[in-house]
Amino acid sequence: MPLGENHGDKNDSRYCGIETEFNDDMPFVLSHNLNGGFDFVVAPLMEPNYRPSLIDNASKHSSVLPFAGSDLVLTPTQWSSHVVGKISSWIDLDSEDDVLREDSEIALKQELAWASHLSLQACLLPTPKGKSCGNYARCVNQILQNLNNMQLWLRIPLAKSDDDHPMMTSSDGMVVEVTDSWELWNSFRLLCEHHSQLSVALDIQSSVPSISSIERWYGEPVKAAFVHTECYLTNARGYPCLSKRHQNLLSGFFYYSIQIVLSGKPVHNVPAKSKPSAANQTDTVAQQLPRHDLRPYLDYVGYLYQSMDPLSEQERFELGYRDFLQSPLQPLMDNLEAQTYETFEKDSVKYIQYQRAVSKALMDRIPDDMASTTTAVLMVVGAGRGPLVRASLQAAEETGRKLKVYAVEKNPNAVVTLHSLVKIERWEKIVTIISCDMRCWDAPEKADILVSELLGSFGDNELSPECLDGAQRFLKPDGISIPSSYTSFIQPVTTTKLYNDVKLHKDLVHFETAYVVKLHRLAKLSPSQTVFTFTHPNYSPNKSNQRYKKLRFDIPIETGSTIVHGFAGYFDAVLYKDVHLGIEPTTATPNMFSWFPIFFPLRSPVYVKAGSPIDFHIWRCCGNTKVWYEWCVTSPTESPVHNSNGRSYWVGL
Q: Residue 539 pLDDT > 50, yes or no?
A: yes
Q: Which of 105, 453, 512, 584 is catalytic?
A: 453
More confident residue, 271 or 419: 419
Under a CB-based contact definition with an 8 Å cutoff, are residues 267 and 24 in contact? no
> pLDDT of 455-486, one tens digit each?
999 999 999 999 999 999 999 999 999 999 99
Q: Residue 452 pLDDT > 90, yes or no?
A: yes
The residues, ordered by sequence, that sit 6+ positions from 291 with a Cβ below 8 Å of its Cβ are: 36
CA distance 214 to 645: 39
CA distance 473 to 380: 14
What mean pLDDT comes out for the span 151-176?
Answer: 68
Angle at 223 between CA 221 and CA 224, to 5 degrees: 135
CA nearest 486: which of 470, 469, 467, 464? 464
What mean pLDDT comes out for the span 257-286?
Answer: 69
Alpha-carbon distances, residue 262 vs 17, 44, 302, 500 (angstroms): 6, 15, 12, 29
Return the CATH architecture of domain 338-453.
Answer: 3-Layer(aba) Sandwich (3.40)
Domain with CATH 2.70.160.11 in the chain: 491-652
> pLDDT of 217-255, one tens digit each?
999 999 999 999 999 999 988 899 999 999 999 999 999
Under a CB-based contact definition with an 8 Å cutoff, are residues 257 and 13 in contact? yes
Angle at 563 between CA 586 and CA 137, to 5 degrees: 145
**Residue 96 falls in the annotated catalytic set:** no
DSSP annotation of 646: G
Banded pLDDT at 196 (limits 50, 70, 90): very high
pLDDT at 63: 46
Buried b (16+ CB within 10 A) or exposed e, 409-445: bbbeebbebbeebbeeeebeebbebbbebbbebebee
Under a CB-based contact definition with an 8 Å cutoff, are residues 641 and 451 in contact? no
Banded pLDDT at 599 (limits 50, 70, 90): very high
Q: Residue 161 pLDDT > 90, yes or no?
A: no
The residues, ordered by sequence, that sit 6+ positions from 191 with a Cβ below 8 Å of its Cβ are: 133, 134, 137, 138, 141
- Cβ burial of 272 (10 Å; 0-12, 13-18, 19+) is exposed
DSSP string across 145-157: HT--S-EEEEEEE
Positive or negative, the CA dihedral 279, 283, 288, 290 is negative
Would you give the distance in Å from CA 537 to the centre of its chain? 36
The residues, ordered by sequence, that sit 6+ positions from 432 with a Cβ below 8 Å of its Cβ are: 404, 405, 406, 407
Pairing of strands 485-494, 562-576: antiparallel
Q: Which of 105, 111, 462, 512 is catalytic?
A: 462
Q: Residue 300 pLDDT > 60, yes or no?
A: yes
Phi, then psi, of 563 in degrees rounded to 5: -130, 140
pLDDT at 174: 53
Topology, domain 12-311? TIM Barrel (3.20.20)
Count Cα atoms within 13 angstroms, Cβ side, for 248.
10
Q: Residue 121 pLDDT > 70, yes or no?
A: yes
CB atoms within 10 A of CB 63: 4
Question: How large is the angle between the packed helices 244-255 and 295-306, nearest 10 degrees?
Answer: 70
pLDDT at 169: 52
Under a CB-based contact definition with an 8 Å cutoff, are residues 232 and 260 in contact? no
Amino acid of residue 269: N
> pLDDT of 64-99, one tens digit each?
455 556 888 899 999 999 999 999 999 999 999 999
pLDDT at 275: 42
The residues, ordered by sequence, that sit 6+ positions from 542 with a Cβ below 8 Å of its Cβ are: none
> pLDDT of 360-394, one tens digit each?
999 999 999 999 999 999 999 999 999 999 999 99
pLDDT at 282: 46
CA nearest 430: which of 399, 409, 405? 405
CA distance 153 to 451: 52
Q: Give binding residues as ranges.
A: 341, 350-351, 409, 437-438
DSSP string across 446-497: -EEEEE----BTTBSTT-HHHHHHHHGGGEEEEEEEES-EEEEEEEEEE-HH
Under a CB-based contact definition with an 8 Å cutoff, are residues 588 and 515 in contact? no
**Residue 462 falls in the annotated catalytic set:** yes
Q: Give binding residues for S-adenosyl-L-methionine as ranges.
A: 341, 350-351, 409, 437-438
Under a CB-based contact definition with an 8 Å cutoff, are residues 158 and 131 in contact? no
Pairing of strands 431-435, 402-409: parallel
Q: Which strands form 447-451's sheet, in the order they lie side by side?
A: 431-435, 402-409, 375-381, 447-451, 475-482
Torsion of CA 25, 27, 28, 33, to 10 degrees: 130
CA distance 281 to 89: 34
Share of the chain above pLDDT 70, in %: 91
The residues, ordered by sequence, that sit 6+ positions from 520 with a Cβ below 8 Å of its Cβ are: 256, 322, 323
Count Cα atoms within 13 angstroms, Cβ side, for 278.
6
The CATH number for 491-652, chosen from 2.70.160.11, 3.50.50.60, 3.30.1330.10, 3.40.109.10, is 2.70.160.11
Domain with CATH 3.20.20.150 in the chain: 12-311
Least confident of 193-207, 282-296, 512-526, 534-548: 282-296
